[in-house]
Structure formats: structure tokens, C-alpha cells
């Protein structure tokens, strides 16, 4: 267990414990830390913030991974970051590996997020390990001649676009089980057709309404879900033969709820069929006034980074108002309309804004949005002035 930041709550401020250092967790921690009224403790198994919006570009662009793996060491002024694996989350405290007693709190924010196969997300706990992993993958992509991508969701689309942009002469095939990319009827038809056209311009071949029979093929590492070596795969419906020497399986995101199910708290929790925590109109976990859930672990249908940001700011404001006895704020107002941002290489992609009528924006504007809402914004959130650490322990 590693601790970065101020380890002792000398002024006995209310403790806000945040489990999960993704977009929502970090934004909530920053917003509360800025007030100076709380001792903020953020727990994450990694020593760095993973900016997964740029993760797939790191698969092809040298040194780009340094921009998406950002150390937590300058995150908080009034609190600390605990690097540890969370074992059990309960109303009485959060038990982490390497510590006998649960970490106590006055308020708890659950922001455990979701897991996805590398390179969309990473399993390594240390920055140096993750950097080496991306370097290794980039070499594999450079050496491959025929690449198969299974899954036409945002990750599959973006990975295909990044590889095709940097390596235009590679043979890239994307197989998708749906009749259109993204598999969702929530967006304008034009969004789907533009994405398909962008990939087509890059030379990516797309097979719709079909699946790939992987047979007895196994992954080198389960958390990676890419397959090396020469293989010939057959699709299950069209019986199309596809040869590949590097295959990515871009399907199957999983909600990180293991620590919620591990203890006695599990029996009391209200979860939906996807394993997400049902929350009320104030983003409180049902039945608990001082426990909140945001981001992918929440039942709210808002799963983009900038919307997790919105939830985080709301919860930070709610906690501040309650602590200062300013009354309950207005209920949380989720976006009324669906939103999606998908890049296709450096110069392509399309997005639909969460507005009435679903405004679409073009490729160049989309890239600018990603820079503002993604890399530049979140990098600024984490890199703040350094502070001295003490040798005391977390209460």
C-alpha cells in the first residue's frame, strides 16, 4: 500500500473517501479538495491517472503513452491518494489490501468505473509497467501485416482508425455483429454512416452482422485480449475466411463491482441487472444518505468522461452544502439527450452533442473537442503544485 500526499487529518476535517481514480473520481476529489473544508482520500490500485480517451492512440504513436499515464502525486492539497487494491466496500469503512483496519469516512463516493481489455484500458499498477506494455504493443502492430479487429463499438472503431492512419498499407478487417457501427439506435443515422465512411476512406474493410469463431484460440494474457501469430478465422454466419497475424477482441466491458459484492454490504445494495448501483435523484446509493455513486458504476445512463465530470461536480457540491447545512440542492439533472464522441484516426471521427435534435459536428471540429474535453482538460486537473508529505498514517 502506497500513500501520496498529506497522511494526517490534523484539523479533523470531515473525511470524504473516494474509491476509484478515473474521470469521475478525480474530478470529485479535486472539487472537494479545492474547498479546503474536507480531508479527501482517493483510493486507486494504480499510481497514475489513466486518460483512456487517448489510450488507443498510444498504441501506435511513440511516446504518446506518457501523456495518458499521469502520476497522482500532485493531485491533492488537503488529503492523500492511497494506492491499494480495494477488497471490501461497506458503510462501516473501506478495507484495502495491506491494511488491517478499514479506512473510515464521513462521506463515501463510489467511482470504481469499468474494466476493458488492453489497450483500451490497462491492468498495470505502475506507470513504468504500463509504458513498457504500450511500447511492446506498438512494436507488434508495426510488425503485423494483417490485423483483425472484433467489435464495432467505440474501442474497435477508434483502434482501427488509429492503426489505419499510422500504417496505411496494413490489411485491416473489422467484424461487427450489428448491422451498423456502435450497435445503438439512440443516435442519428448520419453518425453511423459517417463513421463507416471515415473507416472506408482509410481502407478498413468492415464485415457487418457476423461474428468470428475464435475456436480454441486463447489469449496470451486474459486482460489483453489480443491474439498473436498467424491464424485463419471463419465468421459464423457468412463463413467468410479472414487471415490475421494480430487479432484484437474489442468487446465486453465489465462493471467494477467485485469489492461491493465481497462483504455483508452486498445483501443491502440495490443493483440493476448490469451490476450497477441504483441511485436516487441526488446520486445517493439508495438507502444511504452519505454514500454516492458516479460514473460507470452508477445506474445513470451517462457513460462518457465529460458526463462523469458533471456527476462528480454535483456530488461535490451536494456534500459541501450538506456539511455546511445549506439544505439539499436541486436534484441531479441528467442529460436529456444521448451523446457520443468517436475519433477515427487523427483527422476523422464524428460526434453527436446531447442537445435536442442531436447536433452532429464534423471531423475537424470533433478533433478540437477531444483536445479540449479530453487530453488538455484532464491533464490540467491532475498536474497541480506539489506539496510536502508527512510520515503519519491515514486515520
Mean pLDDT by 10 residues, the chain (395 residues): 76 96 96 96 96 92 93 92 95 92 96 91 93 95 97 95 97 96 82 93 97 75 72 94 95 90 84 92 94 94 78 96 90 83 87 70 44 39 35 42
3-state secondary structure the chain: CEEEECCCCCCCCCEEEEECCCHHHHHHHHHHHHHCCCEEEEEECCCEEECHHHCCHHHCCCCHHHHCEEECCCCCCCEEEEECCEEEEECCEEEECCCCCCECCCEEEECCCEECCCCCCCCCCCHHHHHHHHHHHHHHHHHCCEEEEECCCHHHHHHHHHHHHHCCCCEEEEECCCCCCCCCCCCCHHHHHHHHHHHHHCCCEEECCCCEECCCCCCCCCCCCEEEEEEEEEECCCCCEEEEEEEEECCCCEECCHHHHCCHHHHHCCECCCCCECECCCCEECCCCCEEECHHHECCCCCCHHHHHHHHHHHHHHHHHHHCCCCCCCCCCCCCCCCEEEEECCCEEEEECCCCCCCEECHHHHHHHHHHHHHHHHHHHHCCCCCCCCCCCCC
> Which domains are seen in the chain, by residue range?
2-116+254-335 (3.50.50.60), 127-252+340-369 (3.50.50.60)
Record the pTM.
0.87
Predicted pLDDT at 338? 77
Predicted pLDDT at 277? 94
Predicted pLDDT at 7? 74
Predicted pLDDT at 357? 61
Predicted pLDDT at 217? 67
Amino acid at each position: 500500500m502506497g500513500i501520496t500526499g498529506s497522511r494526517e487529518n490534523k484539523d479533523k476535517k470531515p473525511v470524504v473517501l473516494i474509491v476509484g481514480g478515473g474521470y469521475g473520481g478525480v474530478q470529485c476529489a479535486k472539487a472537494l479538495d479545492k474547498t479546503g473544508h474536507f480531508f479527501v482520500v482517493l483510493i486507486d490500485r494504480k499510481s497514475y491517472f489513466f486518460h483512456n480517451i487517448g489510450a488507443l492512440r498510444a498504441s501506435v504513436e511513440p511516446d504518446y503513452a506518457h501523456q495518458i499515464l499521469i502520476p497522482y502525486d500532485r493531485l491533492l492539497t488537503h488529503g492523500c491518494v492511497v494506492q491499494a487494491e480495494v477488497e471490501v466496500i461497506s458503510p462501516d469503512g473501506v478495507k484495502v489490501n495491506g491494511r488491517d483496519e478499514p479506512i473510515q469516512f464521513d462521506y463515501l463516493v463510489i467511482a470504481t468505473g469499468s474494466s476493458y481489455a488492453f489497450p483500451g484500458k490497462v491492468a498495470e499498477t505502475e506507470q513504468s509497467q504500463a509504458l513498457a506494455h504500450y511500447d511492446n504493443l506498438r512494436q507488434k502492430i508495426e510488425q503485423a501485416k494483417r490485423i483483425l479487429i472484433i467489435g464495432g463499438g467505440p474501442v474497435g472503431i477508434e483502434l482501427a482508425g488509429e492503426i489505419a492512419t499510422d500504417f496505411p498499407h496494413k490489411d485491416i478487417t473489422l467484424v461487427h455483429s450489428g448491422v451498423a457501427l456502435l450497435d445503438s439506435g439512440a443516435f442519428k443515422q448520419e453518425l453511423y454512416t459517417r463513421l463507416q465512411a471515415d473507416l472506408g476512406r482509410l481502407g478498413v474493410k468492415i464485415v457487418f452482422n457476423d461474428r468470428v469463431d475464435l475456436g480454441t484460440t486463447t489469449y496470451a494474457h486474459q486482460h489483453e485480449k489480443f491474439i498473436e501469430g498467424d491464424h485463419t478465422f471463419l465468421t459464423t454466419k457468412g463463413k467468410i475466411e479472414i487471415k490475421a497475424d494480430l487479432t484484437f477482441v474489442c468487446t465486453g466491458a465489465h462493471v467494477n463491482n467485485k469489492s461491493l459484492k465481497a462483504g455483508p454490504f452486498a445483501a443491502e445494495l440495490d443493483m440493476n441487472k448490469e451490476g450497477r448501483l441504483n441511485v436516487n435523484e441526488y446520486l445517493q446509493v439508495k438507502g444511504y444518505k452519505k454514500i454516492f455513486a458516479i460514473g460507470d458504476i452508477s445506474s445513470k445512463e451517462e457513460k462518457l468522461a465529460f458526463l462523469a465530470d458533471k456527476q462528480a461536480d454535483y456530488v461535490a457540491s451536494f456534500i459541501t452544502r450538506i456539511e455546511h447545512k445549506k439544505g439539499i440542492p436541486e436534484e441531479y439533472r441528467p442529460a436529456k439527450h444521448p451523446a457520443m464522441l468517436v475519433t477515427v484516426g487523427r483527422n476523422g471521427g464524428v460526434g453527436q452533442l446531447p442537445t435536442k435534435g442531436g447536433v452532429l459536428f464534423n471531423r475537424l471540429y470533433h478533433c478540437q473537442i477531444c483536445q479540449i474535453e479530453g487530453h488538455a482538460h484532464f491533464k490540467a486537473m491532475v498536474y497541480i503544485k506539489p506539496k510536502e508529505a508527512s510520515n503519519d498514517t491515514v486515520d
